Structure formats: structure tokens, C-alpha cells
Amino acid sequence: MDGSASYDSNNIFGKILRGEIPCHRVYEDDETLAFMDVMPQAAGHVLVIPKTPSRNLLDADPSVLARLMPVVQKIARAAKDAFEADGITVIQFNEPAAGQTVFHLHFHIIPRHEGQALRPHSGQMEDGDVLAANAEKIIGELGS
């Protein structure tokens, strides 16, 4: 990593955490927020982020990761059930060269079905009603 790369709170997920822009939330606790990706690569694509400012995996404090990963697992299980998925892809990009476009640490959780390719990364915006309905499906599984 470029050693000069640091956290800039003026990123889109920082704004979501501060409530400056909306999101379709599926889960929140003191340390973590999970919400629907607005340009999903498959139905049910969720992003899980720590509330602690971290640019990506490379600068995150291990204690932040220790609190985040159980939530990644919890959301992955719920998304798999909610979408009757055959599997779950977890993706996490670090720095522009690796495909990172939003510089607040996040894990992508993407339900997968046999034979169905992923849609492009940061591709087409999904309809808000669809995102809301998909969020509800996952919330329903988290509650059960």
C-alpha cells in the first residue's frame, strides 16, 4: 500500500454512518452497520462496515476486524437463507489498484446461484423498492 494513504471521512460510507445520506439498513450494532449495495452484483448484495474509521483491511486495527467478522458471518448466513442461495461470495478490495472505489473498509456479501454470473462491480443502480424488499428479506432471517 502507498504509505501515505489514510482515512478521509468525506467518503460515501462515512456519510451513511453520519446519517447524511440514506441507506437500506439490514443490521446495526455499536460497532457495525450492514446495508444493501445500491449497485448489486446479484440480488441481496450487502455491504458490512465497521463504525470505526478504517480505510481498508490494510490499516484497520485487528480489534476492529475481530468485531466485524462475526457480523460478516451472521449476514452471510442470513442472506444465504433469505435468497435460497447455493453459496455466498465475500469480496473485499484494498486500494484502487485492487478495485476499491469507496475508502471506508467494507466486506461485500453476495448471494450466488449455480450457473449465474455476477453482474459488473459498481454497475447499474437498483430500484429503491427492490433494495428495500431485499433488505426486508434479510432482516426477516436475522430475526428468526
> Any idea which residues carry the catalytic annotation?
106
Q: Is 107 in the site for ligand 5GP (CB under 6 A)?
A: no
Of residues 39, 66, 132, 133, which one binds ligand 5GP by CB under 6 A? 39
**Secondary structure, 3-state, the chain:** CCCCCCCCCCCHHHHHHCCCCCCCEEEECCCEEEEECCCCCCCCCEEEEECCCCCCCCCCCHHHHHHHHHHHHHHHHHHHHHCCCCEEEEECCCCHHHCCCCCCCCEEEEEECCCCCCCCCCCCCCCHHHHHHHHHHHHHHHHC
Only segment of 31-39, 59-67, 73-81, 82-90 that touches ligand 5GP (CB under 6 A): 31-39
Q: Which is nearer to ligand 5GP, 36 or 64 (CB)?
A: 36
Cα gap 41→102, rounded to integer Å: 16
Query: Smallest distance from the beta carbon of 70 to ligand 5GP, in angstroms?
Result: 21
Q: Is 5 in the site for ligand 5GP (CB under 6 A)?
A: no
Of residues 17, 37, 76, 110, which one binds ligand 5GP by CB under 6 A? 37
Q: Which is nearer to ligand 5GP, 76 or 144 (CB)?
A: 76
Give me the residues that bind ligand 5GP (CB under 6 A), please.
12, 23, 35-39, 93, 99-102, 106, 121-122
